[in-house]
Amino acid sequence: MRLLFIGDIVGRPGRRAVRELLPGLVEKYAPDAVIANGENAAGGKGISSKVADNLFQLGVSVITMGNHTWGNKEIFALLETERRLVRPLNYPPGLPGQGWLKIETSKGPLVVVNLLGRTGMAGPIDCPFQAMERLLAEVDAPVVVDFHAETTSEKAALAWFLAGRAAAVVGTHTHVQTADCRILPGSTAFITDLGMTGPVNSILGVKTETIINRFRTGLPERFEVASGPAQLAGAFVELEQGKAIRIESFCEYTDREEDEGGTC
């Protein structure tokens, strides 16, 4: 089974990068499923029905979310109707949506899980380790996890916790791709962070002057998605009988500048 993971899609530039660059990656890797983090896909914060539909039309199989899950008011209705959208599993019980999804690929079933880290994250978040322990007792197919977390140590800890039990653990959220693709003991593929799919000339997808001013003055500012050339970052994972045999990161670029950014 061949899987393509796409790092945090940020606003219109990120969606443009998916539109222009995903076809080439599909031709190169021939994935059986494409899993993309879309928590920043609509104007830099949250996701809308229109944006989700667009990403599915572009070839994304499953959209995972993160700490900005509730950033767009459309998410509540969308989670009730769109089964291909997965929000963090370890939100408190009773919230809309699902934290994992079992899909059928041409190579068999696959369970896609979204988890949220607790270190440095706001809001009530249940333990991701306990949430995965419970889930693993229920599922009967290879499991891949998008762990949306702030610290490298928490991501690595979860990956080692799941070594030999999950097929892959890929980190998202920090928007900077890490150079540590590896296969852990037990044949679990791991990368600390897939990186960002969005504007290159930015600070984590946001206009540079906004972030610089915030650091210089300490005053809050409205975040806006940067414009200009964009990148698509992520990783390719290959499984054999539910075990990882290959992981390879990638970062592709497009020079087009047809977007206008957007509110973050």
In the three-class reduction of DSSP (H, G, I as helix; E, B as strand; rest coil), residue 235 is classed as strand
Is 50 exposed, middle or buried (CB count within 10 Å of its CB: 0-12, 13-18, 19+)?
Answer: exposed
68 a catalytic residue: yes
Tokens of 253: 């670029």
If pLDDT is split at 50, 70 and 90, which confidence band does 263 have? very low
Do 53 and 65 meet the contact criterion of CB atoms below 8 Å apart?
no
**What pTM was estimated for this model as a whole?**
0.95
Cα(57)–Cα(49) distance, rounded to whole angstroms?
A: 12
**Residue 124 main-chain phi, psi, to 5 deg:** -75, 115
Cα(86)–Cα(116) distance, rounded to whole angstroms?
A: 12
49: enclosing H helix or E strand:
helix 49-57
Cα(229)–Cα(199) distance, rounded to whole angstroms?
A: 6
Do 239 and 170 meet the contact criterion of CB atoms below 8 Å apart?
no
What pLDDT score was predicted for residue 258?
A: 64
Residue 261 has pLDDT above 50, yes or no: no
Q: DSSP label at 123? A: S
Domains of the chain, by residue range, sit at: 2-256
Do 232 and 26 meet the contact criterion of CB atoms below 8 Å apart?
no
| Tens digit of each residue's pLDDT (9 = 90 or more) over 163-208 | 999 999 999 999 999 999 999 999 999 999 999 999 999 999 999 9
**Average pLDDT over every residue of 122-150:** 96
What pLDDT score was predicted for residue 259?
A: 53
Q: What are the DSSP calls for 162-198, one per residue?
A: TBTTBSEEEEESS-S--S--EEETTTEEEES----BE
Fold of 2-256: Purple Acid Phosphatase; chain A, domain 2 (3.60.21)
**Average pLDDT over every residue of 138-158:** 98
Tokens of 75: 């998410």
Point out the catalytic residue in the list 68, 148, 173, 175. 68
Tokens of 177: 């791709």
- Determine what percent of the chain falls in helix, strand and coil, rounding each to the nearest 5: 25, 30, 45
Do 191 and 170 meet the contact criterion of CB atoms below 8 Å apart?
yes
Cα(98)–Cα(87) distance, rounded to whole angstroms?
A: 6
Do 90 and 127 meet the contact criterion of CB atoms below 8 Å apart?
yes
In the three-class reduction of DSSP (H, G, I as helix; E, B as strand; rest coil), residue 72 is classed as coil
